[in-house]
Structure 1
Amino acid sequence: MQASGYPAAAAHGQASTPVQVSVILPVHDAELWLDECLGSVLQQDFEGSMELSIFNDASKDKSMTIIEKWKEKLEVSGILVVIGGHDSPSPRGVGYSKNQAIAQSSGSYLCFLDSDDVMMPQRVRLQHAAAVRHPTSVFTSNGPTVIMPTWFCSRAWFSHVGPFDEGGRGVPEDLLFFHEHLRKGGGLVRVDQILLLYRYHPGAATHSVLETTIWTHRVRFLEEWALPHWATFTIWNAGRQGRRLYRSLTAGSRCKVVAFCDVDENKIKKGFYCYEDSQERPKPRVPVLHFRAAQPPFVICVKLDLTGGAFEDNLRSLNLQEGRDFLHFS
């Protein structure tokens, strides 16, 4: 669906050769960031054919003026630019905008980008090379989290998994897509370089999604996708996050928790965690053990890169296999 005033979506039909990579860029009131963002598209060192597919989601600022300025620069350099959008009174959301940008694009591979982020020059080249080798995976770059603007995948795989949820503000469309990707057997490959600068600011779309919404989706998916394969498991972290996960589980999943594990001597010395708010009688009391005394599989509720490598060293020392013996939840 495309509103009047955005006729350029047909521009990709002018291409003399098939487009290899489409950069998917939803835009809403992004004038503060667009120059840097679009400049990073121009600086890509990818030698194949590339297009930029922009969908303007009812921007009221000068975003379209900036886009038109960059359109000429990009096309002179050989990057096709496809522009769609609508000028309704209200934006329709990130999921809708991504779907529209994908629909109007033609590349065999999709490179996702947010309008407030900046790509490193090697991003498209390295992720395209990885995607050719792994056709049913999504690709991220070096970092502790899987964030949407680092993703890269084939159009065929996106069509198999997608589209994005179009519920609009407050819906974690990227998380829902990723869960569906895993349900359908998709993999995750990390190109071990920094490929994107992620800009975290008060106006970012991510702030429209409540943390409790994301938490609930993640817990339910953990119970659907992973926990049915385990008769019992240990929660790695006897602190706030580990206890929160335990309390968030359904009663059936809580029964599978045989212990918490930690390195904090005070928590271990206490010996157990009692779920005081439980309606069960007697109230559940779960042992707290040192991680070396605990039994896998583990659901790990420890954030990565926060302990100077100590947690990562401890985990590696157990010689466990991710997916079989442990899963990262945080």
Structure 2
Amino acid sequence: GASEELQAMQAHVSIILPVHNAEPWLDECLRSVLQQDFEGTMELSVFNDASKDKSGAIIEKWRVKLEDSGVHVIIGGHDSLSPRGVGYSKNQAVAQSSGSYLCFLDSDDVMMPQRVRLQHQAAVQHPSSIVGCRVRRDPPNSTERYTRWINQLTPEQLLTQVFTANGPTVIMPTWFCSRAWFSHVGPFDEGGQGVPEDLLFFYEHLRKGGGVVRVDQSLLLYRYHPRAATHSVLETTIWTHRVRFLEEQALPRWAAFTIWNAGKQGRRLYRSLTAASQRKVVAFCDVDENKIRKGFYCHEDSQERPKPRIPILHFRAARPPFVICVKLDLTGGAFEDNLRSLHLQEGQDFLHFS
């Protein structure tokens, strides 16, 4: 009867596609929607955020092709003078869609044909997780360290490395999750330019006990170009959110900890902490003999008298747990070897913050 018809109309998966001046990439992106090998019902929900190029016409052209092959297309948008931003656009695209699962897609990226099928499989098994995937970077030599990090994190590290400057351990253009879970966590922050809406959503997801799962196949061509929205968020904004999240989620477990890096980044972290967290810092540690010879770091801006003097130790003389402010994959493996030599457990004995 009627309820079965409704069931048939309601898509299994909604592909969520915010668009703003995406003309150069949109054909390839939309072709990749058409080429999905997923056998369930699929719909495409596009929100055109005040594009001033030919994006609208390209979307209309593909609407016909997609509808002809059984993919329902919903197009929303506005043509004000200025865009409302990705957070707003994604929320609108989700709101106008109806699928039980949401597959996030950026207009400059390209899905492999098996993306929806494989991520849907994983999401069904992990109803309160964000499911990501491995990616192929284009151009291949852009952001090599970041791409390696995205693709090589272990299942445990997807949860332990959530404090680093890299941001979410599965990247937003690869996100796939149930609508029910999205509604429980979301929506995205709509502050617009300068707001790291994916990071804030990811943190909220983790606060609510959400899991992080990655399909270990490369299911997305992930494009790098300097015009990307990512570049409009200030590093200081992200730093502040990261420190807050570290203090809220990780530091309460520890009565005392050591900051690994007596240099600029380590000291910056120390200065960014609340007074209560600062009091838990028992030492800095490092490999740099000059810093270790100094013997201590004096916190000049402190209101406390006498001003706190934090010992600087060689890392072998320091005691875990560590908050590590050394960038990974930069020292030709020297730092990683040092860390490995201590036989510590990530998440319990140390966390990466850089």
Q: Same fold (TM over 0.5)?
A: yes
Q: Which residue of 1 aligns with 2:259?
A: 235
Give the alignment partner of residue 35 of structure 2, picking from 33, 40, 43. 43
- Work out the CA distance in 2 between the residues paired with 1:183 and 1:34: 35
Letter in 1 for 2:347: G
Letter in 1 for 2:48: N
Alpha-carbon deviation of 1:191? 2.6
- Work out the CA distance in 2 between the residues paired with 1:259 and 1:251: 15
Alpha-carbon deviation of 1:63? 0.7
1:284-323 matches, cutoff 5 A: 284-323=308-347
Letter in 2 for 1:60: K
Q: Secondary structure at the match of 1:302?
A: coil
Letter in 2 for 1:43: Q
User: Do the aligned partners of residues 267 and 200 (structure 1) sit closer, same or farther apart at CA in structure 2, a change above 3 Å counting?
Assistant: farther
Letter in 1 for 2:197: E
Letter in 2 for 1:16: A
- Work out the CA distance in 2 between the residues paired with 1:16 and 1:276: 67
1:121-140 matches, cutoff 5 A: 121-140=113-132
Runs of 4+ in structure 1 over 6 Å off: none
Q: Which residue of 2 aligns with 1:112?
A: 104
Q: Which residue of 2 aligns with 1:56?
A: 48
Q: CA RMSD in A?
A: 2.4
Q: Which residue of 2 aligns with 1:84?
A: 76
Q: Secondary structure at the match of 2:190?
A: coil
Judge which range, 258-267 or 227-236, deviates more: 258-267
Q: Which residue of 1 aligns with 2:138?
A: none
User: Do the aligned partners of residues 276 and 195 (structure 1) sit closer, same or farther apart at CA in structure 2, a change above 3 Å counting?
Assistant: farther
User: Do the aligned partners of residues 242 and 46 (structure 1) sit closer, same or farther apart at CA in structure 2, a change above 3 Å counting?
Assistant: farther
Q: Which residue of 1 aligns with 2:235?
A: 211
- Work out the CA distance in 1 between the residues paired with 2:336 and 2:174: 23
- Work out the CA distance in 2 between the residues paired with 1:48 and 1:278: 60
Q: Secondary structure at the match of 2:191?
A: coil
1:100 aligns with 2:124: no
1:197-224 deviation digits (Å, cap 9, x = unpaired): 3333332222222111111111112112
Letter in 2 for 1:136: S
Residues matched between the structures, number: 318
Alpha-carbon deviation of 1:14? 8.7
For structure 2, list consecutive stretches of 5 or more residues without a partner in the other structure.
Answer: 135-146, 150-165
- Work out the CA distance in 2 between the residues paired with 1:44 and 1:174: 25
- Work out the CA distance in 1 between the residues paired with 2:29 and 2:295: 52
Judge which range, 177-186 or 66-75, deviates more: 66-75
Letter in 2 for 1:248: S
- Work out the CA distance in 1 between the residues paired with 2:352 and 2:37: 34
Alpha-carbon deviation of 1:310? 4.2
- Work out the CA distance in 1 between the residues paired with 2:291 and 2:57: 58
TM (norm. structure 1) is: 0.86
User: Do the aligned partners of residues 238 and 321 (structure 1) sit closer, same or farther apart at CA in structure 2, a change above 3 Å counting?
Assistant: same
Q: Secondary structure at the match of 1:16?
A: helix
Q: Which residue of 1 aligns with 2:178?
A: 154
- Work out the CA distance in 2 between the residues paired with 1:30 and 1:14: 33
Q: Which residue of 2 aligns with 1:27?
A: 19
Give the alignment partner of residue 173 of structure 1, picking from 162, 185, 197. 197
- Work out the CA distance in 1 between the residues paired with 2:119 and 2:305: 53
User: Do the aligned partners of residues 315 and 46 (structure 1) sit closer, same or farther apart at CA in structure 2, a change above 3 Å counting?
Assistant: farther
Judge which range, 60-69 or 204-213, deviates more: 204-213
Structure possessing the higher relative contact order (Cα contacts under 8 Å, 6 or more residues apart): 2
Q: Secondary structure at the match of 2:8?
A: coil
